[in-house]
Amino acid sequence: MKQGFSIIKRILSPNSLRVQLLARSLLILAVLLVLVGVLQYGIMKDLVYRDKAQTLRSIAMSAPPLHMNPFKRDNDGDFGDRPTIFLGDASLAYIDNQGNFSVVTQARDGSDPPQLSRKQYQAILQAGRAEGYIITKANGIEQMVVLHYTRGPFGVSRGLIEISTPTEPLKSLLLSQLLDYLLLALVALVVGLLTYLPVIRKALDPLSNMVKTAEQIDAGRLSTRFYTEEGQTEIDSLAESFNGMLERLEASFAAEKETQEQMRRFIADASHELRTPLTSINGFLEVLLRGAANQPEKLHQALESMHSEAQRLKKLVQDLLLLTKMDRAPQAELLPGRLEELIRDMEPQLRVLAGDRRVELDLQGQGNCRFDEDKIRQVILNLFQNAVQHTGDENGLIRITLKQEGQGVQLSIEDNGPGISGKHLPHIFERFYRSDSSRARKHGGAGLGLAITQSIVELHHGTIEVNSQENQGTSFKVWFPAG
């Protein structure tokens, strides 16, 4: 009950779109009706007045001119015998060529016809014709005056016949028509109100559906979508825009959730990696404090172990700082150069790192591209050390290949080690991920080398991919765009 009252109150609120559309539609209709009424009143007034004037002119034209002969007057200057003409409320007068005014027939109420100025009469006489009508007042009553120019034999002017009638009946007729129009306009507004309500409600149904759908959406239900086939172009476009926004929000929330999960794993892995060398160092210190410091052999062994763990800890912290720096503000000084020269320069260092493993170089091109020398050195060292760690000492083979590939340069580092299983391949570039934890710990790796390598390659606008099969070796291919 309360909810229904709230909905009705919201619908009938002045801020409601339904109410505003209805009010504005009715306002436009009312303004149009007023304009039509004003226009109709003006047209009808002109028509009624012109028709009345034509009727009066017809009466004036039918008046017997013999009785209006200016030589048939009595001693008082008036007509002796007035003509018998039934004019109702109209009155008749005669104006001779000198502008003298004479009453011929009075109106029904006994009032004399209105008399215009002599100058007006003379102007019409000089013009030789009388057209239209004149509105004037006589004894406080507005009257319509129609003048008719009469001619005698041989075109001799006989003067003017003036016929006049009050305009009050005409105004009453126009007022009656106006009242009828206002009544019809009011009926039209009521009908418009009753018609617009269901039409507007039907037209706004898609918006109501969107409101209901929007009320069902929250952070946990972003998969809900708006219906995009309501049959209204604007509403459908709005629904499509909202759906696009929801898709972006859903992707953003998913990415944020994934980022939080990665951050949680990163913190857990980093804490674990940092705890291991610290625990080891703390253990050796406890051994030394219990008296091993007085034994030179045990002291030397403990110091070497702590130094090794400290170096491992230092490298881990450096890798973490490097990754953080590359994530927040990656910078690289990309200069034109040849990768072949860089690899040739690193060859002695690579052979030392390889130990007893065979190293083959297949440098088919000069590898012209733009790169940051220090960072590319790190990429080569990371991939080469990864191959060394996963290749046996005696039969190990590591091959470095450089060649032109498409619009760039491809660097490949292959080994004949045990390979990487298919379940590990999608994750090897993730931070702290290791396909073989025991071997990685033995060689001091923390699972950050390949993540750093991928970040550096992407910083150079390149790509890196890995191909591997178990017991057949692993191949890392890095592609850089040509300079």
Tokens found for residue 437? 């934890």
Closest CA to 146 of 124, 166, 161: 161
Mean local confidence (pLDDT), 475-481: 91
Cβ(116)–Cβ(145) below 8 Å = yes
| Average confidence (pLDDT) over 193-222 | 74
Got the DSSP string for 170-206?
HHHHHHHHHHHHHHHHHHHHHHHHHHHHHHHHHHTHH
Average pLDDT value for residue range 263-288: 72
How many Cα neighbours within 13 Å face the side chain of 315? 16
Between 226 and 439, residue with greater pLDDT = 226
Lowest average pLDDT, out of 72-86, 344-358, 458-472, goes to: 72-86
Give the Cα separation of 124 and 338 in Å (integer). 111
Tens of pLDDT, residues 185-204: 888 888 888 887 787 777 77
Report the pLDDT value the prediction gives residue 63, as an integer from 0 to 100: 66
Residue 100: closest CA among 162, 40, 56: 162
Percent of the chain residues past pLDDT 90, beyond the cut: 4
Q: Which of 7-11, 109-113, 340-344 has the lowest mean pLDDT?
A: 7-11
Q: Given pLDDT bands bounded at 50, 70 and 90, which one contains residue 434?
A: low
Query: Among 76-85, 94-103, 325-334, 431-440, which is the least confidently predicted range?
Result: 76-85
Q: What distances in angstroms separate CA 474 from CA 288, 390, 425, 466, one per listed residue? A: 44, 9, 10, 7
pLDDT band at residue 441 under the 50/70/90 scheme: very low
- The identity of residue 8, as a single letter, is I
Residue 67 pLDDT more than 60? Answer: no
Place of tokens 């130094």: 307
Q: Which of 44-53, 325-334, 361-370 has the lowest mean pLDDT?
A: 325-334
pLDDT band at 92 (very low <50, low <70, confident <90, very high): confident
Which residue would you say has higher pLDDT here, 329 or 245?
245
Q: Which residues contact residue 34 at a Cβ distance below 8 angstroms, ignoring those fewer than 6 apart?
A: 185
Give the DSSP letter of residue 356: T
Q: So what's the pLDDT on residue 476?
A: 92
Model pLDDT for residues 140-188, shown as the tens digit of each residue: 788 888 888 876 654 555 778 888 888 888 888 889 988 988 898 888 8
Q: Can you give the pLDDT at residue 263?
A: 72
| Residue spans of alpha helices (H) in 338-464 | 339-354, 373-389, 437-442, 449-459
Candidate ranges 60-69, 205-214, 292-301, 388-397; pick with highest mean pLDDT: 388-397
Using the structure block, give the residue that is written with the tokens 């409320």: 89
Give the least confident one: 6-20, 138-152, 263-277.
6-20
Residues 6+ apart with CB under 8 A from 165: 52, 56, 87, 88, 89, 90, 91, 107, 143, 144
Walk me through the domains of the chain, giving residue ranges and CATH numbers.
1-62+168-203 (no CATH), 67-166 (3.30.450), 217-329 (1.10.287.130), 332-481 (3.30.565.10)
Average pLDDT over residues 109-127: 81
Q: pLDDT at residue 68 above 70? A: no
Residue 216: is its pLDDT beyond 50? yes
What is the arithmetic mean of pLDDT over 353-357?
Answer: 87
Question: Which percentage of the chain shows pLDDT scores above 70?
Answer: 80
Q: List pLDDT tens digits, range 444-470.
A: 455 777 888 888 888 888 999 999 888
| pLDDT the model gives residue 268 | 67
pLDDT confidence of 327, banded at 50, 70, 90? low
